[in-house]
Structure 1
Amino acid sequence: MTTYEVDILHSSINFSIKHMMITKVNGVFNSFSAQIEAEQIESFKNSAIRFDLDVASVNTHDNSRDQHLISADFFNADRYPKITFIKKAVEGSCNSFKLFGDLTIKGITNPVVFDVVYTGHVTNPWNVDTYGFSCTTFINRKDFNLTYNAILEKGGFLIDENVQINVELQLNPI
């Protein structure tokens, strides 16, 4: 097994959610860590994967919204400072596969499935092997007790239940 590190400068954990039923709000978690070991990194074969996101690092480019997101109304970062993903299984081919795991938000753990695309391997200008992946999943935020909402005057809700999560990874062997 080889251990890999995430190239933080070239990786991101993003989310988007429909706002007022007409547009999407996008955000990122600026601080996260990962422990990744794999026999074959291209397909995550025989791998151990864990991600920890720092909840207080959420960034939607609106400071007041970010403060609301880390409050008890949403993530309650004081009590639950981390969001965690732990890999359980992988299925599929080496270029496109499914990554099954447990996602824990606010102390609640639910299974999720990421669609993963292996985007390639290059040797960077510093002679380090670099591997790329794009990962996507959808979750229902209510499954994690993220229930805050408001009813709009003309009907509908301020915030949708479904959240898209996109993870762009560059990995380097240690």
Structure 2
Amino acid sequence: MAKTNWNVDKAHSTVDFSVKHMMFATVKGGFQDFDATIVADPTDLTTADIEFTIDVSSIDTRNGDRDAHLRSADFFDVENHPKMTFKSTVIEKTDDNEYNITGDLTLRGTTKAETFAVTFEGTGLDPWGNEKAGFAVSGKIKRSDYGLTWNAPLEAGGVLVGDQIKVELQLQAAKG
């Protein structure tokens, strides 16, 4: 397959995360507004150019008060930092259809290199003849690396919000 443009099909893609709450429970959420530019041969991502943008104000944890707090200066500070971006820099094949994609993640004005595991799930034609490709992405980041340090101590010890954020994306992209 030749290297071509692929656009994320937002109706069939998700950008989700999870974080420990009170040291023992997990809270999950996602972002509803995101976009990506992928120039790649999906069967060999080693030469791909990938750029991903998330509108952080689109956060959804199924709790309006929590979402408002996450949008505030305590966390994402969406008024001053409305977007989170990722741009690939190095892509290594680790197994059949599996890759480590390293790139520059910018969040809240801080840019750091992060690596995510990506699995190419395959390609196919939708009912209207459009070629689609599927990708699963997973990884972890430390929110404190990006200035997201708000927390509250717990009476029994520990903190309210964990530092490690698990990231999981299910992406369907359309050729063209």
Q: Taking structure 2 as the reference length, what is the TM-score of the superposition?
A: 0.95
Moved more, 115-124 or 141-150: 115-124
2:159 maps to 157
SS of the aligned residue for 1:33 comes to strand
Structure 2 CA distance, aligned partners of 1:124 and 1:94?
24
| Shift in Å, 1:94 | 4.5
Structure 1 residues without counterparts, runs of 5 or longer: none
For residues 64-112 of structure 1, the C-alpha deviation after alignment (integer angstroms, 9 at most, x for no partner) is: 0000001000000000000000000110145111111110001100111
Q: Post-superposition shift, 1:36?
A: 1.2
- Deviation beyond 2 Å, 4+ runs, structure 1: none
- Contact between 1:123 and 1:130, CA under 8 Å: does it hold in 2? yes
Secondary structure in 1 matching 2:44 = coil
Q: Distance in 2 between matches of 1:99 and 1:134?
A: 12
CA–CA distance in 2 between the matches of 1:45 and 1:142? 30
The residue aligned with 1:48 is 49
Give unmatched runs, 5+ long, in structure 2: none
**TM alignment of 1:118-137, pairs within 5 A:** 118-137=120-139
CA contact under 8 A between 1:43 and 1:97: conserved in structure 2?
A: no
CA contact (8 A) 2:110 2:146 kept: yes
The answer (yes or no) to whether the contact 1:84–1:103 under 8 Å persists in 2 is yes
| Cα distance in 1 between the residues matched to 2:103 and 2:96 | 18
Shift of 1:163: 0.3
| Residue 91 (structure 1) aligns with | 92
Instruction: Answer yes or no: is the 8 Å Cα contact 2:86–2:103 preserved in 1.
Output: yes
1:1-174 mapped onto 2 (5 Å cutoff): 1-38=3-40, 40-92=41-93, 93-174=95-176
TM-score by length of 1: 0.96
Letter in 1 for 2:155: E
| Higher mean C-alpha deviation, range 42-51 or range 66-75 | 42-51
Count matched residues. 173
RMSD (CA atoms) = 1.0
Secondary structure in 2 aligned to 1:44?
Answer: strand
